[in-house]
Amino acid sequence: MTGGQGFVVAERDVPEIKKDGDTAAVRVTIDAGAGSERLEQRLIRFGPGRSRERVNRGRHELLYVASGRGTIVVGGDAHPVEPESGVYITDGERYHVENEGPDDLAVVSVLAPADHDANGSRQVVVRYADRPTLPATRDRDFRYLVDVDAGCLDATQFLGTIRPGREGMHSHVYDEVIYVVDGVGAVHFEDRSNPIASGSCIHLPPFTMHILENSGSGPMRVLGVFHPSGDPASRAREEPTG
């Protein structure tokens, strides 16, 4: 739903599209119709078999494997992936997905502007387990997946952890889309609050005041992608606390 700035939708409420001859079932959760002019978020389930070839012109694609295992073949090179893998597909690259089954390979895909080519440190696959944990605030930390260290100069992909509770409202200079991987709570804007849970998709335009609250008993995990690239802990404006 919309109202003021920001957009929230549940994965289950978005229709699934599947083309004949393809293993991929796609839900477009956030795009220009939701007020996101620069980033497009899609949830894709690749069934068993080999998908159709895929390519994006003028945009990079950052994937996150939410569940399942398979192989992403980029330019003829095979890259095995498993849950918590980040994948960086650059502007114009062709790829397909091979899934031996029996389970689907579920990914969160975000298309971002391709203002720069990948730099010399480009990595196709980045694994969460291989990245250091960094502090964001007292109750939040994160690990970078696809970022400048992986050769992506235009966007940043990270997996964040939010402990139970609520901190103060804040905003960022960048444009961001979020997917709630685990947990339950709410996203608070200046003019409203929306419940969120696993499968919730959120768009935060630049300078939108907000906070994600974890109302559960365990950690909430969120996948964020923002443009232009930067630091998830940075703030444009922050609500005074104390």
Q: Give the tens place of pLDDT for each residue, 117-138.
A: 998 889 999 999 999 999 998 8
Coil/strand/helix, residue 154? coil
pLDDT of residue 238: 81
Structural domains for the chain? 14-125 (2.60.120.10), 128-238 (2.60.120.10)
CA distances from 199 to 11, 107, 179, 182 (A): 5, 12, 7, 8
| C-alpha closest to that of 233 among 97, 137, 165, 119 | 137
| Model confidence at 1: pLDDT above 60 | no
| C-alpha closest to that of 77 among 124, 113, 44 | 124
**In which residue are the tokens 């991929």 written?**
24
pLDDT of residue 3: 37
* Mean per-residue pLDDT of the chain: 94
What tens digit of pLDDT does each residue of 159-179 get?
Answer: 999 999 999 999 999 999 999
- Average the pLDDT over 93-109 and give the result: 97
pLDDT-derived band at 241, boundaries 50, 70, 90: low
Q: Name the DSSP class of 198.
A: T
| Model confidence at 93: pLDDT above 80 | yes
